[in-house]
């Protein structure tokens, strides 16, 4: 902590290192992530002029994290970002800030839950849930959260993600046929994945407001073993994270609501008021291969398609999807 200012202002730094960290949230009072080691470096320096733009940088490194991500976690993190940028405006004391987050994942595992209807009793229990899991040796992400405009009508967060290689895996619980019949759980690989995008959201919450998530993804040397059940898993990812079942329900809640009379859309009553989310996704793949197996659970025989370049544009909202 700087007690004497320099030409650039007061220098304040924070270095933090944690071992064997376990993260839980109030979303389900269960484990969100388990990490062997965390290194945090923060640059909290202040300029000489008290109301000049403050640029604060956070460098976070997670070593061997296992992350069980739900859509409610994404909402929680976006609400945290909104809390940073929506303090009561006082023109006499307001100070502009720009927060830069640099996150590095080393030997990571990311689990996306693909349970039907987003029925989840324990999100981190591998023997109870179905997942599409992504693992890799390294992933780096950068996000800029601006709070440099007083009483802004809307906010925009810019982010970038880079990863040299990712393996996609299907994980099924013990009672599922796939856990014993699937010949190989690794169904996809890609190299040099780059994602750039922005997330724009208004300051208040209303069903008349629209949040925009714009993403551009590029990857090379992509190969996917496209089983029939994989298409259903992808649609469950869409429904559980961006569609009709973004708020999970436990098995007891699902069974209780299913017994109610005139219940046509289970889980709809739990959904809190929120803005409409408009997602646009542009994907570009070079040097790809898609394998369509002839058998249900193994890919020794099938149709193999190669392509030099594949481009796809996808847009979906709560009530619309187009490709």
- Structure confidence at residue 259 (pLDDT): 77
What DSSP assignment string belongs to 199-238? EEEESS--TT-EEEEEEEEEEEEEEEE--HHHHHHHHHHH
Which pTM does this prediction carry? 0.85
- Structure confidence at residue 265 (pLDDT): 56
Averaged in consecutive runs of 10 residues, what is the pLDDT profile of the chain (323 residues)?
A: 80 94 88 94 92 93 95 84 69 87 96 91 90 95 90 87 95 88 90 94 81 93 92 90 82 82 56 76 94 89 92 85 85
**What phi and psi values does residue 268 have, to the nearest 5 degrees?**
-70, -35
Tokens of 87: 């303090």
Residue 134 CA to residue 113 CA, distance in Å, equals 12
Tokens of 301: 């025989």
- Structure confidence at residue 267 (pLDDT): 52
Exposed/middle/buried for residue 132 (C-beta within 10 Å: 0-12, 13-18, 19+)? buried
Residue 245 CA to residue 252 CA, distance in Å, equals 16
**CB-based contact 60:43 (threshold 8 Å):** no
**CB-based contact 147:96 (threshold 8 Å):** yes
- Structure confidence at residue 264 (pLDDT): 55
* 173 CB neighbour count, 10 Å cutoff: 15
- Structure confidence at residue 269 (pLDDT): 44
Q: Which residues contact 74 (CB under 8 A, 6 or more apart)?
A: 241
Exposed/middle/buried for residue 191 (C-beta within 10 Å: 0-12, 13-18, 19+)? middle
**CB-based contact 250:119 (threshold 8 Å):** yes
Residue 186 CA to residue 194 CA, distance in Å, equals 21
Residue 163 CA to residue 298 CA, distance in Å, equals 28
Residues in the chain: 323
Residue 150 CA to residue 92 CA, distance in Å, equals 11
Residue 146 CA to residue 84 CA, distance in Å, equals 9
């Amino acid at each position: 902590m700087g007690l004497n200012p320099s030409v650039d202002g007061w220098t304040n730094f924070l270095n933090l290192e944690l071992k064997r960290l376990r993260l839980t949230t109030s979303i389900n009072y269960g484990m969100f992530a388990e990490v062997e080691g965390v290194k945090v470096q923060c640059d909290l320096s202040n300029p000489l002029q008290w109301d000049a733009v403050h640029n604060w940088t956070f460098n976070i490194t997670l070593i061997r994290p296992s992350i069980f991500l739900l859509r409610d976690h994404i909402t929680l993190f976006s609400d945290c970002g909104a809390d940073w940028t929506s303090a009561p405006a006082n023109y006499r004391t307001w100070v502009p800030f720009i927060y830069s987050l640099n996150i590095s994942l080393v030997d990571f595992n990311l689990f996306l839950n693909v349970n039907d209807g987003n029925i989840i009793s324990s999100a981190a229990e591998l023997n109870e849930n179905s997942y599409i899991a992504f693992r890799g040796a390294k992933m780096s992400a950068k996000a800029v959260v601006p709070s440099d405009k007083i009483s802004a009508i809307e906010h925009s967060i810019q982010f970038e993600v880079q990863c040299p290689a990712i393996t996609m895996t299907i994980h099924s619980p013990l009672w599922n046929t796939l856990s014993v019949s699937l010949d190989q759980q690794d169904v996809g690989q890609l190299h040099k994945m780059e994602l750039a995008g922005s997330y724009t959201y208004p300051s208040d919450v209303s069903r008349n407001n629209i949040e925009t998530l714009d993403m551009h993804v590029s990857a090379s040397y992509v190969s996917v073993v496209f089983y029939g059940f994989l298409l259903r898993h992808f649609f469950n990812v869409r429904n559980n994270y961006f569609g009709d079942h973004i708020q999970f329900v436990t098995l007891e809640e699902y069974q209780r609501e299913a017994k109610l009379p005139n219940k046509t859309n289970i889980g709809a009553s739990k959904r809190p008021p929120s803005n409409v989310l408009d997602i646009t996704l542009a994907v570009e793949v070079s040097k790809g291969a898609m394998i369509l197996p002839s058998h249900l659970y193994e890919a020794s025989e099938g149709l193999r398609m190669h392509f030099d370049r594949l481009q796809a544009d996808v847009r979906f909202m709560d009530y619309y999807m187009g490709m």
